[in-house]
Amino acid sequence: MKIFVVNAGSSSLKYQLIDMENEQVLCKGLCERIGVTGAISHKAADGRTYSAETAMPTHSEAFEAVVYAMTKSDAKVIDSFDEVSAIGHRIVQGGSIFKGSCLITPKALQDIDDLGALAPLHNPAHVLAIKACIKTFGEEKPQVAVFDTSFHQTMPSKAYMFALPYKYYEQYGVRKYGAHGTSHWFVSDRVAAIEGKDKKDLKIITCHLGNGCSITAIKDGVCIDTSMGFTPLDGFMMGTRTGTLDPSALTFIAEKENLSPADINRICNKESGVLGVSGVSNDNRDVAAAAEKGNERAQLAIDMQRYQILKFVGSYIAAMNGVDAIAFTGGIGENDAELREYVCENLAYIGAEMDKEKNKVRGEEIKISTDNSKVNIYIIPTNEELAIARDTLAIISE
């Protein structure tokens, strides 16, 4: 059985075709500049590639290009899209409506569209992609929605509510929803599997540290708190995002510089974080290289981000009254040995002990704590596409 996994943005579309017999990726690719010009780059598992510039006025033409790449190009992997059993969509915002993945019915599609108010950059694009799939692949092809937010729906109200007047929650749904849920779910499942324990018996902290970053506390098998909030801006500083800060700093700057809410959104989402503080780059590798050469602001950005990550980990240890396992994932989490060492050294007070040799490993699933460590620490490369494919298969098998 083959599952087609789609991660659609307003002008781009990432995809993978996964064979669920062995969970192997058959091909993956990217359509870009949808609505402007259009280009596809496609790669089969055996290394064959196909790329083309082709008009993509809408997502429908992008999907047609994908079908050509998968079934007819020099890098084809199947004879016909009929071989594909279902389509799994990554959906950024499921609000309080979607507690888990679901078959995309007309009602579900309408709900995803309505939730666009909470994710204006993402949900409308997902809706376009789902409609384009119906057009390209027909109404009979099952489509499943897998939400970034649903893993976090188990948070208690004391964790997800903001201390704002209650009416804003009632009127507009202003609360913490979290993000990266599929990744936190996948990684925490892997931790339990490696430990050979029921997830319900473990207190786990998962650190998804990439371009976007979030940390989640998992107790009794479910998420009890997460660092991202109403939008993926909350938490701790990221490549270009602020993370948590005093909102009055923003109203102060807005008044001083006569800025609109849209300006503030842009500054906080695109011009802040590691880039904003260092003035060098949003990529931790560039910033680390600059710090190495003596750039003090680059060093400050690195120090701030590490400190904020440590504080979130510490707060979740307090929230769960302990921790059994901590897992690092994402581009930074999987590759930045110094960051992991910093976090671990500062958790010596709870008996965490890092195996420095094992910590040198990159991008591989591995336990990096010593056998004496009271907390097991892991690197677990995330695989959100596989998690989406698994859930899609589960939903269509119900």
What is the binding site for ligand AMP (CB under 6 A)? 210-211, 239, 283-285, 330-332, 335-336
Classify residue 222 by burial, with Cβ atoms within 10 Å: 0-12, 13-18, 19+: middle
Residue 51 beta carbon to ligand AMP: minimum distance, rounded to whole angstroms: 21
**Nearest to ligand AMP of 232, 239 (CB atom):** 239
- Report the catalytic residues: 148
Q: How would you label 253-272 residue by residue, b for 16+ Cβ within 10 Å and e otherwise?
A: eeeeeebeeeebeebbbeeb
Closest CA to 134 of 104, 164, 171: 104
Alpha-carbon distances, residue 381 vs 15, 61, 190, 334, 335 (angstroms): 19, 33, 10, 6, 10
**Nearest to ligand AMP of 243, 331 (CB atom):** 331
**Nearest to ligand AMP of 95, 273 (CB atom):** 273
Give, for 392, the enclosing helix (H) or strand (E).
helix 384-397
Residue 214 beta carbon to ligand AMP: minimum distance, rounded to whole angstroms: 11
Helix/strand/coil for 116: helix
CB hemisphere CA count around 220 (13 angstroms): 8
Residue 298 beta carbon to ligand AMP: minimum distance, rounded to whole angstroms: 13
Distance CA(345)–CA(135), nearest Å, equals 54
Q: What is the DSSP string of 304-364?
A: HHHHHHHHHHHHHHHHHTS-SEEEEEHHHHHH-HHHHHHHHHTTGGGT--B-TTGGG--SS
Residue 333 beta carbon to ligand AMP: minimum distance, rounded to whole angstroms: 8
Amino acid at 333: G
Distance CA(254)–CA(116), nearest Å, equals 26
**Nearest to ligand AMP of 136, 335 (CB atom):** 335
**Nearest to ligand AMP of 143, 382 (CB atom):** 382
Residue 232 beta carbon to ligand AMP: minimum distance, rounded to whole angstroms: 12
**Nearest to ligand AMP of 83, 283 (CB atom):** 283
Residue 284 beta carbon to ligand AMP: minimum distance, rounded to whole angstroms: 3
Residues 6+ apart with CB under 8 A from 227: 178, 213, 214, 215, 216, 234, 235, 236, 243, 312
Contact 178, 154 (CB under 8 A): no
**Nearest to ligand AMP of 8, 84 (CB atom):** 8
Distance CA(9)–CA(393), nearest Å, equals 23
- The residue written with tokens 């909350």 in the block is 234
DSSP state of 97: T
Q: Which residue is nearest to ligand AMP (CB)?
A: 331
Helix/strand/coil for 118: coil
Task: Report how many helices (DSSP H) and strands (DSSP E) the chain contains, helices first.
Answer: 14, 14
Residue 282 beta carbon to ligand AMP: minimum distance, rounded to whole angstroms: 6
